[in-house]
Structure 1
Amino acid sequence: MSIEQDKQLQRFKERGYQADLLPKTKKQQTWGTFNYFSLWMGSVHNVPNYVAVGGFFFLGIAPQYILLAIFFSSIMIAGIMILNGKAGSRYGIPFAMSLRASYGEKGALLPGILRGCIAAIMWYGLQTYTGSLALLILIGKIWPAFLHIGGNFQFLGISLPGLIAFIIFWVLNLLIGLGGGSILTKFTALLNPLIYILFGGMTIWALSIGGGLRAILMYLPQQISNEHSSLIVFFMIVNANLAVWAAPGVSASDFTQHAKNFKSQALGQFTGLVLSYSLFAFSSVTILAGASIHYGVDTWNILDIVTKWDHLAATAFATLVLLLTTISTNATGNIIPAGYQLAATFPKKISYKQGVLIASVLSFLICPWKLMENQVSIYTFLEIIGGILGPVLGVMLAHYFVAMKQTLSLDKLYLAKGKTGYYKNGVNWFALAVTLVATLLSFIGKLIPSLAVLSGFSWMIGSFSAFILYCLAFLLFKSSSTLKEETK
């Protein structure tokens, strides 16, 4: 660390910022290409993603187009993660601080809470619940009587065995979250080989029992929706996949802050995401279609397949890997960002670990099992998350690349008490106004019945309209005092 950087960090500490929020030094930026390549591998193969693919079949589109839509969306996801993570890799700052550059130290509270608290905590609870279902299957196979504990007892809609499994898995997620990024990279390095053993084996199994690749590519569920054309359904699938990554895409800097350089995170994320999603697309379509053909029942949840197996060792291995992939996904996309955001919202009172603990408690209290009652509830959830966070991403990209020209002043982000940063009042009103307008546009399909088809494109509409509107606002009003101050 240079003498100047050491003085800068000391200055920021004296201003009351927790160590978790400080810019990472070159010594701390140790993640290379392989770290990012492996980081997202485990995040793709998780239960909600398989449930989403199961839902795609019911939209009435052929399996090969589902494969193509998932591959196309993976390229877009990789691009988003790389571009919105550039500030993190260049300056070593987490999402909570890069958000301040776009919205101001006070203005950042609203989008920060939307992503780091509401979206992250909702996803945190959902992923924990889906993982607990896998744990319940495993315990039930080993100890069948466990599934009958408590009889007809229900706790806000969940049985006693389900509640016990949820609490156990909730604690495991909490422990990984408290370990932070250093524990996560070691965890994913051990997990990735197991993922390919499991899903590679399940893919071969599904090809065998489903009558081969030709039969699988011709599979359609018994009940399908013909409400939309194939082209519209194709982009609805793309939007759904992007909505899954709406939250991590916004907070990409939480992970790129550890990068050795921009090239490392760009190459690692692109190859890791595109390759893992390509393999996921083929395995998910093959497994779900093959099992549906074999069992004669349309299957939209991979856990339903594992439950039908009679081989204890195979079931135990499959559920164990599903548990681990869910923890990996939860940590990268939800637990860590929630911890950082809560610490940034109350920088002098809450540390990262305290933020993780608070987020964990809230993820329990929202009763996440209500979010996964059926396919409709999941799609509604994705539409809402995509519509809320898409505009935030659009504003952040437009601000950093167009308005700021990829240059930030850390002294204006890590403010001393009573000092002025990029904005005299601490709020970029242009950013908030654009976010509000773009959010309304993203839900236009819900607001105007005649445009209902657009509700399936909430993330796309929100993010693209926010980017365009912010660029236009900057070009038209950059002479104003607010935007003059912003780009100094």
Structure 2
Amino acid sequence: MMQAIWPSEPPFPPTIAISDCSGQASAPIRGTAGCQSHQREVMVMAELADGEGVPLLYENLARRLGPSWAISRTSLPIKAMFSMLQTGLVQASSPFGGPPSRATRPSEPVAFRGNGRTKSISTALGIEEVVSRLKAWVIQSSIIARGQPAQVVIYVLKPYSKLSPQPSPNYSWIAEMNRILKKLEIEHEGGTLPDPWINFDIKPIEAGRRTWSAWTFTTYWVLINSNISSYMTGSSLIALGLPWWQAIIAIVIGNLLAAVFVVLNSLPGAYYHLGFPVVNRYVWGMYGSQFVIWNRIFLSIVWYGFQAYIGGQCVYVCLKAIWPSLEQRIPNHLSPSTGITTAQFVSYIIFMVISLPVAYIRPHNLRMFFYISASVIVVFEFVLLVWALATMGPAGFGSTISGGGPGEPVKDAGWLVVFGIISTIGAISAGILNQNDYARFARKPRDAVLGQVISFPISSIICSVIGVLVTAATQKRFGEAHWDLPSLIGAIIDHGGSRSRAAAFFAGGALVISQIGVNIPGNALSGGFDLAATFPKYINIRRGAYITIALSIACNPWKLVSTATIFLSVLSSYAVFLGPMTGLMISAWFIVHRRKLKVEDLYTGNRTSIYWFSHGFNWRAFIAWICGTVPSLPGFIATVNTDVHVPVGFTRIYQLCFLVGFLISAFVYSGMHLLVPDRKLQEYVSTAASSAVLIRDYRDSIDRGQDLVENKILSDA
């Protein structure tokens, strides 16, 4: 057992303070405590500092102590420090004084004094008294620092002479890495506590950032759904041989079901203004939520790469409209097995580069971009439809309806329609899963509901139906079904003259705008949200978005869209894993938690939180997700790898994967919480006020500018 004592001659000044940005000296915990055992001596120093003070103190200690001491630095939120003190994990006594003296030079360390004298707390005091005085000192220091909450920074100093005869050769490397990591830390905005469970990007959205009206949600979904992926979902069904009317049936049913899932899964964000990573903490547990977050991060990376590749194809079309001999101007040096030429890869990189500035914009500031992009793509799609129907000659639309298209009738057309329904849902399953990330910006809950329940299905159905009609109308003219728009516009360039090339250039430009509009909010920012929740100390939304963009290159997206069959398999494969996750989230909101959330506990990473479950994991969620995923796996494997053969029943289950996974996971999750309930969660849900009262009081408090989460962290401290 270590005993906290004061060293008689510490090897560094016992009083160090660091000036903050305002020139007012911050208030560190004075002095050092030496913890001795019979084997080695350990020096412990604590300070209360934030901003630029921490690296200055670290460099000061390293300079004064020299290479014979190893310095370990741990930054803890105030709350975590008190918790460790109270549980005995950290045992130290520290002297305290009054307010710090005024620093003459902000960068110069100054003594911490009170009324010209130095005070101290006796080491004989019990731990409760130390914690009590530390609380009072923290409150006083926070007021001095203009209310900006600070960190408790613990320095553990170990003399190498006590540990080994020679100084560690890794000392300088470790010190350098610590300095680099410190420089990578983000500046926490809005006074948010630098806590592992919260930062500015994942805290509940205050009134000032809730700017999305019903019209904003309408334009958002028009932009998200009026894109090449939605177009390709419908047109690829035509390419597989379905008649136009069966393809439209699949599209309509799929989008109506998807609209229901979108609205239901966005309600926690609309009412409590919480994002996807935080919502999943009450579903999977505080640590368990990392499982679904990392799944979503991976999905964001893959989907960004896929959408960026399509955007690159649009850039390629624009360049080819200007230089028809583009492939000769940029000779191909890539293998045919790569699935992409050098010119196409250059176009892909160009699209990636022009997307970067949009990724810098905060989500609540994207409204004008949505309005402009949605207007451009809507005009383009209707012009495209009119042109495609006009290519059929005098018969026009009637010829499209009556034309059956080339090829033999498709076997099992009914199940192919079902496959089309699930593929339609799969195309937007990622958006369904993380819709709370955007619903939380709603001014009022009804803005999110009304803005999505109508605009989502209508915009998606119209775009997909346009894809069906355009593909059906043009396949006779070009001799094949061009189910993806870049390919269709490329055919226009190849078969037309200068006018066709000019039209193709503007069409490609409209598609580039559309792809940026769908890819940045739908994938880059979604990945940014999730990475910010996973590494809040080093990553915010912007850094996370750029990391998502950079990693997306590694997924070889050009392999995903080589044929219509592969494209539909890719879309439906996401539904295998995301359908069960969506079922967990919706059943947790309506059945298990009954819309009653204790928001401050969603940011409390210890057993005092009602969402801690078992060591931070809700094992019920994992079992339910596995139960919902496993039935679809055999059919999924057989679809991806044609060398694998499974009974037809497994294929049928796979074709229903989203609905099967959703229903099974929701049923198992709710049933396990009913049969094996979590005691603390059950007690809160059964004794708390009605959900309407809780939501009303919660919204009133944050509308008045009260931050319940950070208030609780400070009050617990």
> How high is the TM-score relative to the length of structure 1?
0.92
Determine whether 1:460 maps to 2:659.
yes
Determine whether 1:325 maps to 2:506.
no
Q: Which amino acid aligns with 1:23?
A: P
Paired residues of 1:66 and 1:237 also in contact (CA < 8 A): yes
Pick the aligned partner of 1:132 from 294, 298, 312: 312
SS at match of 2:362: helix
Per-residue CA deviations over 1:187-233 (Å, capped at 9, x if unaligned) read 12012222222111111122222232232123334235623143x23
1:444 CA displacement: 4.3
Paired residues of 1:444 and 1:454 also in contact (CA < 8 A): no
- Counterpart of 1:441 in structure 2 is 631
- Counterpart of 1:3 in structure 2 is none
- Counterpart of 1:64 in structure 2 is 245
Q: Which amino acid aligns with 1:270?
A: V
Segment of structure 1 superposing worse, 419-428 or 287-296: 419-428
The unaligned stretches of length 5 or more in structure 2 are 1-146, 150-188, 638-645, 687-717
| Correspondence 1:147-166 to 2 at 5 A | 147-154=327-334, 157-166=339-348
Determine whether 1:200 maps to 2:382.
yes
Q: Which amino acid aligns with 1:42?
A: L
Q: 1:229 to 1:476 in 2, by over 3 A?
A: farther
Q: Which amino acid aligns with 2:324?
A: P
Paired residues of 1:246 and 1:386 also in contact (CA < 8 A): yes
Paired residues of 2:251 and 2:424 also in contact (CA < 8 A): yes
1:122 CA displacement: 0.6
SS at match of 1:161: helix
- Counterpart of 1:474 in structure 2 is 673
SS at match of 2:411: coil
Paired residues of 2:233 and 2:427 also in contact (CA < 8 A): no
1:418 CA displacement: 7.4
Q: 1:483 to 1:449 in 2, by over 3 A?
A: farther
Pick the aligned partner of 1:215 from 396, 399, 413: 399
Per-residue CA deviations over 1:348-377 (Å, capped at 9, x if unaligned) read 222111111111111012221111121222
Paired residues of 1:199 and 1:283 also in contact (CA < 8 A): yes
Within 2, Cα distance between the matches of 1:413 and 1:364? 34
Within 1, Cα distance between the matches of 2:634 and 2:665? 14
Within 2, Cα distance between the matches of 1:223 and 1:7? 70
- Counterpart of 1:15 in structure 2 is 195
Paired residues of 1:59 and 1:225 also in contact (CA < 8 A): no
Within 1, Cα distance between the matches of 2:489 and 2:601? 53
SS at match of 1:19: coil
Higher RCO, Cα 8 Å, sep 6+: 1
Q: Which amino acid aligns with 2:269?
A: G
Determine whether 1:362 maps to 2:551.
yes
Within 2, Cα distance between the matches of 1:255 and 1:183? 12
1:150 CA displacement: 4.4
| Correspondence 1:312-351 to 2 at 5 A | 312-351=501-540
Within 1, Cα distance between the matches of 2:558 and 2:480? 24
1:483 CA displacement: 5.8
Give the alignment's Cα RMSD to 1 decimal. Answer: 2.4
| Correspondence 1:87-486 to 2 at 5 A | 87-115=268-296, 117-154=297-334, 157-210=339-392, 211-224=395-408, 226-230=410-414, 232-309=415-492, 310=496, 311-415=500-604, 420-424=609-613, 425-446=615-636, 448-451=646-649, 452-478=651-677, 481=679, 484=682
1:161 CA displacement: 1.4
Q: 1:265 to 1:60 in 2, by over 3 A?
A: same
1:152 CA displacement: 3.2
Per-residue CA deviations over 1:248-304 (Å, capped at 9, x if unaligned) read 101011100100111111111122112212321332222111111222322222222
Within 2, Cα distance between the matches of 1:73 and 1:450? 23
Query: Higher helix fraction: Structure 1 or Structure 2?
Result: 1
Q: 1:208 to 1:468 in 2, by over 3 A?
A: same
Within 1, Cα distance between the matches of 2:684 and 2:561? 43
Segment of structure 1 superposing worse, 62-71 or 106-115: 62-71
1:312 CA displacement: 2.6
Paired residues of 1:423 and 1:482 also in contact (CA < 8 A): no
Within 2, Cα distance between the matches of 1:433 and 1:7? 43
1:419 CA displacement: 5.2
Fraction of identical pairs, as percent: 22
Q: 1:87 to 1:198 in 2, by over 3 A?
A: same
Q: 1:206 to 1:144 in 2, by over 3 A?
A: closer
Determine whether 1:74 maps to 2:255.
yes
Within 2, Cα distance between the matches of 1:307 and 1:53? 19
1:171 CA displacement: 1.8
Within 2, Cα distance between the matches of 1:62 and 1:163? 35
Within 2, Cα distance between the matches of 1:453 and 1:218? 30
Paired residues of 2:631 and 2:653 also in contact (CA < 8 A): no
Paired residues of 2:315 and 2:351 also in contact (CA < 8 A): yes
Within 2, Cα distance between the matches of 1:486 and 1:376? 49
1:331 CA displacement: 1.8
SS at match of 1:276: helix
Q: 1:436 to 1:188 in 2, by over 3 A?
A: same
Within 1, Cα distance between the matches of 2:191 and 2:607? 15
Q: 1:330 to 1:304 in 2, by over 3 A?
A: same
Q: 1:150 to 1:207 in 2, by over 3 A?
A: closer
1:76 CA displacement: 1.8
Within 2, Cα distance between the matches of 1:442 and 1:482? 34
> How high is the TM-score relative to the length of structure 2?
0.64
1:59 CA displacement: 4.2
Paired residues of 2:230 and 2:464 also in contact (CA < 8 A): no
1:133 CA displacement: 0.6
Q: Which amino acid aligns with 2:671?
A: L
Q: Which amino acid aligns with 1:441?
A: P
Aligned length: 480
Segment of structure 1 superposing worse, 83-92 or 281-290: 281-290
Q: Which amino acid aligns with 1:484?
A: Q
Within 2, Cα distance between the matches of 1:227 and 1:483? 51
SS at match of 2:242: coil
Paired residues of 2:610 and 2:680 also in contact (CA < 8 A): no
Q: Which amino acid aligns with 1:435?
A: W
Per-residue CA deviations over 1:68-93 (Å, capped at 9, x if unaligned) read 32122222222212111111111111
Higher-Rg member (1/2)? 2
Per-residue CA deviations over 1:324-344 (Å, capped at 9, x if unaligned) read 111111123211110100111
Per-residue CA deviations over 1:66-123 (Å, capped at 9, x if unaligned) read 22321222222222121111111111111111111111111011111112x1111111
1:23 CA displacement: 0.6
Q: Which amino acid aligns with 1:371?
A: L
1:308 CA displacement: 2.7
Segment of structure 1 superposing worse, 459-468 or 104-113: 459-468
Paired residues of 2:230 and 2:463 also in contact (CA < 8 A): no
1:129 CA displacement: 0.1
Pick the aligned partner of 1:36 from 212, 217, 231: 217
